[in-house]
Amino acid sequence: MIDSEKKKLEGFLSKALKLDSEAMAGLYNEAGELTDLTAAEEADALRIKKLKEDASSQYKRGLKEGAIKIETELKDKYEVDSDKIGVELIDHIVSEKVNAAKPGSDDITKHPDYKSHTDKLIKSKEKEWQVKMDAMNSEFSKKAIQAKVRELGLAKLAEYKPILPGDSNKALKWKEKYIEELYKYEYQDHDGTPMPTKDGKPIQDEHGNPISYNDLTKNVATEMFDFETAEQRSSSGNTTLGHSGQNFVVPKNDDEYITEMKKLSAETPENKKKRVELMESYTKSKKQ
C-alpha cells in the first residue's frame, strides 16, 4: 500500500470509526502491509450498537412525549386536575362527566330525553378520542417500523459492500439516499423484521412469491450502487477500469444519477462497466 492510499484509509477510519493512531498502527505488519482489520471491525460493531441504542431511546422518548401532549390537552379542555395518565385519565374524565350529567332532585335532568341526549354526547366524545388515540398509536407504530427499516437497511448495505465515495461525508449522503428509497415502501412488522407491503398485502415478485425485506434492500442497493468484487478487495482499490467508449451526459444532481443508474440495472458485463464509469464521472464532477 502506497503512502497516499494509507493516508486516505487512515483518514476515513479516523472520521468514520473514530480509530486513534494506536489502533490504526495495529492494522499493519512490520513491513507496513495491511494485515489485520480487527480494530476496525470492533469499532464498527460499537458504532452499530450505538445506532440501535439511539433508535430505541428516540422511540421511547417519542412515545412518552406524545402521551404527555395528549394528556395535557385532555386536562386543559375538560378542566381536570388529576395525576392519572393514559387510559386511566380518560376513564376518570368520562366518569366525572357522567356524574355531572346525573339527574338532580329538582331540575329538568329528570326527564328521560335528557339522559338519552347525555348518553349520546358521551358516546360521541368517547368515539372522538378513540379515533385520536388510534391515530397516535398508528403514528408511533410507523416511527418504530421506520427505525427498524433504517437499522436493518444500513446493516444489510454494509454486508453488500457497495462502492462508495472515499469522502466519508459523501458516502454518508449516499447511504441516506438509499434509506430514503427504502422509506418509499409500506411495511408491517413480522417477528421483528419489516415486511414490505402494498395496500396491506405483502409485495410479490413476478412469480407470486413474497418479497422479503432482505430482497428489497438488495434490489434497491443494486439500483444505486456497484459492489466490490473479491479481486477489488484484495487489490485495495488499485484496479483502474478503462472507458467503454460510450458517450453519456454526466448527471447534474443525485436524482439524475439514481435515474441513470436504474437504466443500467440489468446485470450484463456492459452495464456493469457503464455503472462504474458513471459513478466515477459523477463523483469527479462533484469535486470540481
> Each residue of 127-139: pLDDT tens digit?
888 888 878 877 8
**φ/ψ (deg, to 5) at 35:** -130, -25
53 Cβ contact list (under 8 Å, min separation 6):
none
- pLDDT for 23 equals 77
Q: How confident is the model at residue 235 (pLDDT cuts 50, 70, 90)?
A: very low
User: What cell does 8 get?
Assistant: 486516505
59 Cβ contact list (under 8 Å, min separation 6):
140, 143, 144, 147
User: pLDDT at residue 103 above 60?
Assistant: no
Residues written for the chain = 288
Beta strands in 124-185 (DSSP E): none
Q: How confident is the model at residue 21 (pLDDT cuts 50, 70, 90)?
A: confident
Distance CA 233, CA 137 (A): 46
Q: Is 93 helix (H, G, I), strand (E, B) or coil?
A: helix
- pLDDT digits over 144-184, tens only? 888 999 999 999 999 999 999 888 899 999 999 999 999 99
Q: Higher-confidence residue: 115 or 94?
A: 94
Q: Higher-confidence residue: 245 or 14?
A: 14
User: What cell does 12 get?
Assistant: 476515513
User: Helices 86-100 & 38-78, crossing angle to 10 degrees?
Assistant: 10
- pLDDT for 206 equals 85
The backbone region for 226, taken as left when phi is positive above 0, alpha when psi lies in -120 to 50, beta otherwise, is beta
Q: Taking Cα atoms as reference points, which of 25, 227, 230, 170 lies closest to residue 6? A: 25
- pLDDT for 242 equals 38
Distance CA 253, CA 244 (A): 23
**Averaged pLDDT score across all residues of the chain:** 79
User: What cell does 79 get?
Assistant: 378542566
Q: Higher-confidence residue: 189 or 104?
A: 189
Residues 90 and 129 sit within 8 Å (Cβ to Cβ): yes
Q: How confident is the model at residue 238 (pLDDT cuts 50, 70, 90)?
A: very low
**φ/ψ (deg, to 5) at 56:** -65, -40
- pLDDT for 174 equals 94
Q: How confident is the model at residue 243 (pLDDT cuts 50, 70, 90)?
A: very low
Distance CA 117, CA 178 (A): 55
User: pLDDT at residue 106 above 80?
Assistant: no
Distance CA 93, CA 99 (A): 10
Q: Which residues pair with 96 in a beta bridge?
A: none
91 Cβ contact list (under 8 Å, min separation 6):
84
- pLDDT digits over 174-202, tens only? 999 999 999 999 999 888 889 999 888 99
User: What cell does 103 get?
Assistant: 339527574
Q: Which residues pair with 187 in a beta bridge?
A: 196
